[in-house]
Amino acid sequence: MAKPKFEMDHVAIAVSDLDRSMKWYSSVFGFETKAKFDRPDLKVKGAIMALGKYNLELFGPYEPEPMEEYRKRLETSLQVVGVQHFALSVDDVVQAQKYLRDNGVKCGEVTSGKTAKYVFCNDLDGILIEVKQNLGE
């Protein structure tokens, strides 16, 4: 049997206030709402939001529990097994950092790696978001 062609489709995150987070992801990054849903069997409402060809699935639990503080910082979150963050790419990470900070988004400092420059930010619930600029080869 031939190996199927796999492609990335979406990342899913749980947020404390679905409507508030939908507005934030739309206004800050330009995500567009594709669909909303309610799953009483799972005690969660949700939305699918698109940015280009990729999707972000937001879950809003009926009774959300806060994320642990250590998960809001890259250096401590990386020590725990599991999903760590998701990344958005930009042409100019320094310009993006300024834009985000000007719009009240908590961001760290721009760091240069071998293949990219990046900065980590937090959403309204503290979820880590990497904003990266790929460097030429």
Taking residues 44-72, report their average pLDDT: 95
Taking residues 115-124, report their average pLDDT: 95
* Residue 116 confidence (pLDDT): 94
User: So where are the chain's domains?
Assistant: 8-64, 66-137
Q: Report the predicted TM-score, pTM, of the whole model to 2 decimal places.
A: 0.91
Q: Which of 16, 20, 19 is nearest to 125 (CA)?
A: 16
* Residue 8 confidence (pLDDT): 83
Task: Share the mean pLDDT of the chain.
Answer: 94
Q: Which of 28, 127, 109, 134 is nearest to 68 (CA)?
A: 127
Q: What is the DSSP string of 27-55?
A: HHH--EEEEEEEETTTTEEEEEEEETTEE
59-84 residue pLDDT tens:
999 999 999 999 999 999 999 998 88
81-111 residue pLDDT tens:
988 899 999 999 999 999 999 999 999 999 9
Hey, do 8-64 and 66-137 end up sharing a CATH topology, with the first three levels equal? yes
* CATH number assigned to the domain with residue range 66-137, chosen from the 4 options 3.30.70.330, 3.10.180.10, 3.40.50.1370, 3.40.50.300: 3.10.180.10
* Residue 136 confidence (pLDDT): 76
CA 49 vs. chain centroid, Å, equals 11
Is the CATH number 3.40.50.970 carried by domain 8-64?
no
Taking residues 44-52, report their average pLDDT: 97
* Residue 137 confidence (pLDDT): 59
